[in-house]
Amino acid sequence: MTHSITLTINGTSYSHTVEPRLLLIHYLREVVGLTGPHIGCETSLCGACTVEVNGQAVKSCTMFAVQADGANLVTIEGLAANGKLHAMQEAFWNEHGAQCGFCTPGMIMTSKQLLDRNPNPTEAEIRHGIEGNICRCTGYQHIVNAVRAAARVAGE
């Protein structure tokens, strides 16, 4: 049995008929063609697949596409506007918050929500806020620096 779903992703409406067991991450990558969110573990441990669903950072491997029916989603592709990077994307670039780049989309989406909730976090709050996302390359300090830099820009 299939289900018809309609979602708004990065400001564009999408309607498809999907299997009820299709994970949201697979819907985004394979049906819609948005490959920014990465498939890492498919067990909700790594956070590489993090997207925003109705304003909440969600690991898209933990959610079926049918559960997102009617939702408003933002992926890493939807953060930049008019050719200008989002402040968090810019901060990751400037502060060398990415090395291999695999965790970066999910880390940016999680960090964005962190600043949406707490515009001036301490280093400890940043580390706690990103602890559900695994990075195997950076040692996290450059990521923490990036979040702090984005917070400074947002506070200006």
Domain 3-78 sits in CATH 3.40.718.10: no
CA distance 2 to 112: 34
Above pLDDT 70, what percent of the chain? 100
Asked if pLDDT for residue 156 goes beyond 80, the answer is no
Helix/strand/coil (H/E/C) assignment for every residue in 100-122:
CCCCHHHHHHHHHHHHHHCCCCC
- In the chain, the largest separation of any two C-alpha atoms, in whole Å, equals 52
Residue 93 to residues 20, 62, 75, 87, 104, Cα–Cα distance (Å): 38, 28, 18, 10, 10
Q: Hey, what are 6's tokens?
A: 């309609």
* CATH number of the structural domain 87-155: 1.10.150.120
Predicted TM-score (pTM) of the model is 0.95
The helix (run of H) or strand (run of E) holding residue 144 is helix 141-155
Q: Where are the domains of the chain?
A: 3-78, 87-155
* Each residue's pLDDT tens digit, 32-89: 999 999 999 888 899 999 999 999 999 999 999 999 999 999 999 999 999 999 999 9
Query: Quick one: pLDDT band at residue 147, thresholds 50, 70, 90?
Result: very high
Instruction: Say how many C-beta atoms besides its own lie within 10 A of residue 106's C-beta.
Output: 28
